[in-house]
């Protein structure tokens, strides 16, 4: 499931409706920038992973830390390893979802 927004306010509204595991935000969005939207999203959905894209890696890293962003990626360099970075970020979430959805046989005990 995915959603798309053209500004920070729309991103928040989409996230409320879709309840995603992951939100990708651009730092330079209109109305509310990505860091401002991330603060709101983390308050509403603390379990949701948030990735902030930015052309300004030094500023983005600082804002990302303040906003509680899970990962800050430079647009110039981050897209090359996006798949790897997202898999690393989401792996604990995916492992938990799989573990809770796969029933164990009656004679099996979890490790």
List of domains in the chain: 1-75 (3.40.50.2300)
Residues in a beta bridge with 22:
49
User: Phi/psi of residue 66, each to 5°?
Assistant: -65, -40
Single pTM value for the model = 0.69
CA atoms within 13 A on the CB side of 59: 11
CA distance 85 to 80: 10
Instruction: Summarize the confidence of residues 45-59 as an average pLDDT.
Output: 84
Residue 18: predicted pLDDT: 94
Range from 6-15, 54-63, 78-87 that averages highest in pLDDT = 6-15
């Amino acid at each position: 499931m995915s959603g798309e927004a053209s500004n920070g306010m729309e991103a928040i509204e989409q996230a409320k409706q879709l309840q995603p595991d992951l939100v990708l935000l651009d730092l330079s969005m209109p109305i509310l920038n990505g860091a401002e939207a991330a603060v709101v999203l983390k308050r509403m959905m603390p379990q949701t992973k948030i990735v902030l894209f930015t052309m300004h890696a030094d500023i983005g890293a600082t804002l990302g830390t303040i906003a509680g962003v899970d990962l800050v990626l430079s647009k110039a360099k981050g897209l090359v390893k996006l798949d790897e970075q997202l898999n690393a970020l989401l792996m604990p979430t995916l492992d938990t979802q799989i573990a809770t959805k796969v029933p164990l046989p009656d004679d099996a005990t979890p490790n």
